[in-house]
Amino acid sequence: MSAYTAPLADMSFVINQVADLMGVAALPGLEEATPDLVEAILEEAGKLGSEVLAPLNRVGDQQGCVLENGVVRNPDGFKEAYGKFVEGGWNGLPFDPEYGGQGLPWLVSTAVSEIWCSANMAFSLCPALTVGAIELLTTHGTRELKEYYLPRLITGEWNGTMNLTEPQAGSDLGSVRTKAWAVDPSDAAISTFSGMGACYRITGQKIFVTYGDHGLTDNIVHMVLARVAGGPDGVKGLSLFLVPKVLPGAGGSLGKRNDIRNVSLEHKLGIHASPTLVLSYGDDGGAIGFLIGEEQRGIEYIFTMMNNARLGIGLEGVGIAERAYQHARAYAAERLQGRNVENPGGGSVTIDHHPDVRRMLLSMKARTEAMRALAYFSGSCLDKARRLPDPEDRLEQQALVDLLIPVVKAWSTDTGIDVANTGIQVHGGMGYIEETGAAQYLRDARIAAIYEGTNGIQALDLVGRKVARDEGRTVLALAATIKALDKKLATVSGDHNMAVIRGRLRTGVEALNHATRWLVETYPVNVAAVTAGAVYYLHLLGTVTGGWLMARAALAAEAGLAAGEGDLDFLRAKLVTARFYADHQLVGAAALATAFMEGGEIVATSGPELV
Q: Which residues contact 302 (CB under 8 A, 6 or more apart)?
A: 136, 162, 164, 223, 225, 240
Task: State the DSSP string of 539-570.
Answer: HHHHHHHHHHHHHHHHHHHHHHHHHT-S-HHH
The three-point CA angle 6-7-9 to 5° equals 130
Task: State the DSSP string of 114-169.
Answer: HHHHHH-HHHHHHHHHHHHHHHHHHHH--HHHHHHHHHHHHHTSSEEEEE--BTTB
Q: How many helices (H) and strands (E) does the chain have?
A: 19, 14
With the C-alpha atoms ordered 91, 92, 95, 99, is the resulting torsion angle positive or negative? positive
Contact 553, 574 (CB under 8 A): yes
**263-269 contacts: CB < 8 A, separation 24 or more?**
263/205, 264/67, 265/65, 265/66, 265/67, 265/72, 266/207, 266/208, 268/447, 269/443, 269/446, 269/447
Q: Which residues contact 179 (CB under 8 A, 6 or more apart)?
A: 202, 203, 204, 226, 227, 228, 229
Active site residue 452: yes
Contact 582, 550 (CB under 8 A): yes
Q: Checking phi first, is residue 204 left (phi over 0); if not, alpha (psi -120 to 50) or beta? A: left
With the C-alpha atoms ordered 396, 398, 399, 403, is the resulting torsion angle positive or negative? positive
Q: Which residues contact 332 (CB under 8 A, 6 or more apart)?
A: 350, 351, 352, 357, 361, 426
The three-point CA angle 575-577-580 to 5° equals 110
Quote the CA–CA distance of 88 and 77 in Å, as a whole number. 17
Contact 145, 242 (CB under 8 A): yes
H/E/C letters for each residue in 250-286? HHHCEEEECCEEEEEECCCCCCCCCCEEEEEECCCCC
Quote the CA–CA distance of 333 and 405 in Å, as a whole number. 36
CB crowding 161-189: b at 16 or more within 10 Å, else e: bbbbbbeebeeebeebebbbeebeeeeee
DSSP 311: H
With the C-alpha atoms ordered 227, 230, 233, 235, is the resulting torsion angle positive or negative? negative
Q: Which of 452, 510, 558, 609 is catalytic?
A: 452
Residues recognised as catalytic: 452
